[in-house]
Every structure is written in structure tokens, then in C-alpha cells.
Structure 1
Amino acid sequence: MAKKPGNSPSAIRHRAAKTAAVMASPSAAALAPPKKRTSIAQFAREVRSEARKVTWTTRRETWITSVMVAIMVVVAMIFFWVVDFGVSFSINQVLKLTAGG
């Protein structure tokens, strides 16, 4: 069996040292100066521009997705009913056996 590259103790120590160095250094967000406050009007403009990027599903896509969810709910319901029936039947049989008939 071939040995995987990078699994030697020295390679592991090297990766651990690199990780520790990255974890010890302050993040870029902590070093950045605080952001300038924006006005309510600027905020509203940015919200509108982001809202324009939203893509909505069509009626057909929504209908298909809803039908698929309903089908999966029915399938899950049948599955859990069968499992519940099987476990219940098994437990009743074991209890009848232990009660002596």
C-alpha cells in the first residue's frame, strides 16, 4: 500500500505550524478602519439595487415544486406508517410470546 504524501510527522508539524501562524495573526477585518456611516437614503438606494437582482420563480416552477413536496410528504408518510406498523406488530408478537400465548 502506497504511503500518502504529506503524512510524515515533519509534514504534519509543518502544516500545524502554518495553521497556528494564520490563527495567531489578526484578521484583515480587525485591521481595517471602521466603515463610514451611510445615510438612510443611501441605504434605501442600495436595498433597491439589491432587490432588483432577485429572481423570482415562475408560476409553473412554483407549482411543480409544490407538487413534488406534496408527493414526498405522502411517500414519507407511507414509509413511516409501514415502519410503525412493522415495529408495533413485532413488539406485540414478542409480548405475546413472553406472556405465554
Structure 2
Amino acid sequence: MAKSKFPGGRRTGNPAAGARPQTASASAATVTVDDAPAKKKTSPAQFFSQVRAEGRKIIWPSRKETWITSVMVFIMVLLAAAFFWIVDWLLGQASTIVLAIGQ
């Protein structure tokens, strides 16, 4: 059984929907956003140095890998186009036959 998303296992809010209204003691126990520790702000210089460090980790594909991948994508696009053209033609022929029956 999945764990409830609501404290105490019950929803609080609209009493008309069958939920219990929140009491003063329950609302006093809730944690506010202000209690969370503040994150340390990053200066623009630190930000750009972190961006450069992450950029250095990127492994770029070689020209050969890029060429092979591009050719494979082009072949798959041609195959998909041929498949959908054939399916479209077959459905068009079938609809022509079905509509000719009624004449």
C-alpha cells in the first residue's frame, strides 16, 4: 500500500468534501519555508566558472560519428516516409472500394 501524501493519512481542507478541518494544534506543528536553511548565493564569476567546468566534461562526437548518425537518421526518415505512403495508399484504395459499394 502506498504511503499517504497527507500528514496523519487524511486530507485537510474542504469540510463539505468529507475532510476534517485543520485544528490550531495541527497547524502549529507544520513546518514553514522560512525554517529551511538558506542556500548560499553564487556570484556571477563562480557561476560562469562552474559552467566552463561542466562544459569541459562534455564528450563531443567525432566527425565520423556525426556523419554516420546523420546518414542513419536520413535512412530511417526514408523508411518511415515509404511506410506511411504505402499505408496511406492502401487506406485510400480501401476507402474507394467501400464507398463504391454504396453506389
Provide TM-score, normalisation by structure 2.
Answer: 0.67
2:55 counterpart of 1:68: no
Q: Distance in 2 between matches of 1:70 and 1:44?
A: 37
Q: CA deviation at 1:31?
A: 6.4
Q: Any gaps of 5 or more consecutive residues in structure 1?
A: 1-14
Deviation string 1:8-31 (CA, Å, 9 cap, x unpaired) is xxxxxxx33xx12xx3479xxx96
RCO higher in structure (CA 8 A, sep ≥6): 2
Aligned structure 1 segments of 4 or more residues deviating by more than 6 angstroms: none
Which consecutive residues of structure 2, in runs of 5 or more, have no partner in the other structure?
8-29
| Greater helix content | 1
Superposed CA RMSD: 2.2
Indicate the residue corresponding to 1:87 in structure 2. 91
Aligned to 1:11: none
Q: Identity over aligned residues, as a percent? A: 47
Aligned residues: 79
- Over 3 Å counting, the alpha-carbon distance change for 1:70 and 1:33 in structure 2 is same
